[in-house]
Amino acid sequence: MYSEKVMDHFTNPRNVGEIENADGVGQVGNAKCGDIMKMYLKIEDGIIKDAKFKTFGCGAAVATSSMATELLIGKTIKEAEMITNKVVMEALDGLPPVKVHCSVLAEEAIAAALQDYKIKNGLVEDNMYEGCSGCCGGCGSHELRREHLHAEHE
């Protein structure tokens, strides 16, 4: 049911762990839904120097977290903001339809960690993601964010 890449990232997840004094930390999902992702970022001069994660969830949740950290490292913040669930999914050679929400969670974890960084550094005025549980995109919050991003990058 999973691609070889998903199984590879699940079996040997990259960048598992925490970053002490991380510049950005984001946690999305909730235990009730069975998925929690916590993303840690080390950012220097606008570049993501390191990314680590901890995930409670299924094989796809672990694999998307792992892939997300690989995609993040070395990117600028602007580039990191372009890592959507689709990008993560494609990098993993796809996910079964019932697991697509795991890639949405990865996108939301990235967004939450970047948002945390921006807040810490006074780079945002409105904190539009505060209080978002980000569970499975059910509340539509990631759709909102996507529209927002779309408008920003157009």
Partner 1 sequence: MADMEKKIIYLDHAATTYVKPEVFEVMKPYFDTEYGNPSSIYSIGRSNRKAVEDARISVAKSIGAAEPSEIYFTGSGTESDNWAIKGAALALKKKGKHIITSNIEHPAVLATCEFLQKQGYDITYVKVDEEGLINPEDVDKEIRPDTILVTIMMANNEIGTIQPIKEIAQVCKKHGVLFHTDAVQAAGNIPINVKDLGVDLLSVSGHKFYGPKGVGMLYIRKGVRIESLIHGGHQERNRRAGTENVPGIVGFAKALELANINMEAHYKKLSSLRDRALKGITDRIPYTRVNGSMEKRLPGNLNISFRFVEGESVLLMLDMKGIKASSGSACTSGSLDPSHVLLSIGLPHEIAHGSLRLSFGEINTEEEVDYLIDALDEIINKLRNMSPLYEDFTKGV
List of residues contacting partner 1 (CB under 8 A): 7, 10-11, 13, 16, 18, 27, 31-38, 54-62, 98-99, 136
What three-state secondary structure class fits 121? coil
Contact (Cβ atoms closer than 8 angstroms) between residue 42 and residue 139: no
Active site residue 139: no
User: CB of residue 31 vs partner 1: minimum separation in angstroms?
Assistant: 3
Reading the block at residue 43, the tokens are 């950012």
- Check 102, 132, 135, 139 and give the catalytic one: 102
Give how far Cα 146 sits from Cα of 84, 120, 123, 143, 152, Å. Answer: 9, 22, 19, 5, 10
Q: How many helices (H) and strands (E) does the chain have?
A: 6, 3
Smallest separation, CB 38 to partner 1 (Å):
4
Query: Is 107 in contact with 84 (CB distance < 8 Å)?
Result: yes
Output the smallest distance, CB 118 to partner 1, in A: 22
Q: How far is the CB of 47 from partner 1 (least distance, A)?
A: 25
Q: Which is nearer to partner 1, 32 or 153 (CB)?
A: 32
- Which of residues 13 and 24 has its CB atom nearest to partner 1 in the complex? 13
Of 83 and 136, which CB lies nearer to partner 1 in the complex structure? Answer: 136
CA atoms 48, 65, 32, 141: torsion sign:
positive
How far is Cα 35 from Cα 114, in angstroms, rounded to an integer? 20
Nearest to partner 1 of 52, 145 (CB atom): 52
Marked catalytic residue, from 33, 58, 135, 136: 33
**Active-site annotation holds for 132:** no
* Residues taking part in catalysis: 33, 102
